[in-house]
Amino acid sequence: MSGLPKFLVQRLAAMVVILLVLTAIIFALQKISHANPVHGYLGANASKAAIAKESAILGYNKPVSDQYLHYVEGLFHGNLGRSLRTRRAVTTDLRAYLPATIELTVVALAEALVLGAALGLASVGRWRGSSALRVVMFSGASTPAFLLALLGVLILNGDLHWLPASGDTGVQNAPTGPTGIIVLDSLLHTDYATMWDGIVHLILPAFCVAIGPAVSIGRVLRGSLHSAMRSDFVRTARSKGLVERTILFRHAMRNSLSAALSMTGLQIGLMFAGVVVVETVFAWPGIGLYTDQSIPVADFPAIAGVTLVLGVFYVVINAVVDILQAVIDPRVTLE
């Protein structure tokens, strides 16, 4: 086995190991925290006898190692457990909350790539306005995500009334299927007013998630482009009379994408962390808000389920990044 099949098998094995480690960490934190999830499940007025009885039913009176093995056994059957807060299967909750997070993350990633490319190209090309772009982006990236989100709410919503600050749409009875992504569902139902409303609701939270990764991607791309523009093949292209813009886009850009793609893969993990914070501030109906509501009541099945989903996304997206690197740069192999 060689090439792409071998690479995919290795990544699949790595994903299984990573997920097992993640679940072990969650269960260890559950033990260390001394939180009683059954107390949150039954309510603040539950008696000790009721808590003890329900703990036996839910299996929380067993050793953590036994709970962990039971949980892993359930994973192999597609069972993530039952949320102690919503009283529903975690898989059911994730199907309800995940589409909104996917929508926000995809838009934020697209913004990060566009802004990062603009920062790198404008800096190297010394285009007009590049200095102002750097100042704005570096200022935004140096601000914590929660503070940037709060400032956006206070200024762009509270003072200027330009952008909404809560939820994924303000339209009553908006389409809810088939994907669960409000913009896409509205488009499929030819409800363009709701689609536009969804886009407007996306602008501010997506920017708050995207700005930090955009600067990191842009800085790596700028460094790679600077090196490429001083290389021999660029000097040869200049000797042939090619203009700088053509050299930058047709020659230097492709040779500089590999490092930027690597940084993109790393930044996606940080974006997931930013999504949790930003969704809480904007009451965005995704898994970040779901997690924020689950933590105070020690809903460990829900927290573990979200952790596993984010772990899968991170491994898969980084595998895709590695494959794209091999496609755009013949020097990179999947061996």
Handedness of CA 224, 105, 168, 195 (dihedral sign): positive
Mean pLDDT of 5-30: 80
Read off the pLDDT of residues 209-236 as tens digits, 9 standing for 90 and up.
998 888 889 888 888 888 888 888 888 8
In a domain? residue 56: no
Residue 329: pLDDT over 70: no
- The region of weakest confidence among 3-7, 202-206, 295-299 is 3-7
Read off the pLDDT of residues 261-313 as tens digits, 9 standing for 90 and up.
888 888 887 787 788 889 989 999 999 889 988 888 888 888 888 888 888 88
In a domain? residue 263: yes
Percent of the chain with pLDDT over 90: 16
Residue from 260, 229, 241 nearest 124 by CA: 229
More confident: 163 or 58: 163
**How confident is residue 332, by pLDDT bands cut at 50, 70 and 90?**
low
Query: In terms of residue numbers, what domain contains 100?
Result: 94-288
Residue 1: pLDDT over 50: no
In a domain? residue 302: no
Domain count, the chain: 1
In a domain? residue 9: no
In a domain? residue 178: yes
Mean pLDDT of 138-154: 84
In a domain? residue 274: yes
Percent of the chain with pLDDT over 70: 96
CATH number at residue 155: 1.10.3720.10
In a domain? residue 114: yes
**Would you say how long the chain is, in residues?**
335
Residue from 235, 288, 299, 227 nearest 260 by CA: 227
Read off the pLDDT of residues 28-45 as tens digits, 9 standing for 90 and up.
877 777 777 777 777 767
More confident: 334 or 46: 46
In a domain? residue 141: yes
pLDDT of residue 72: 84
Cis peptide before 175 (omega within 30 of 0): no
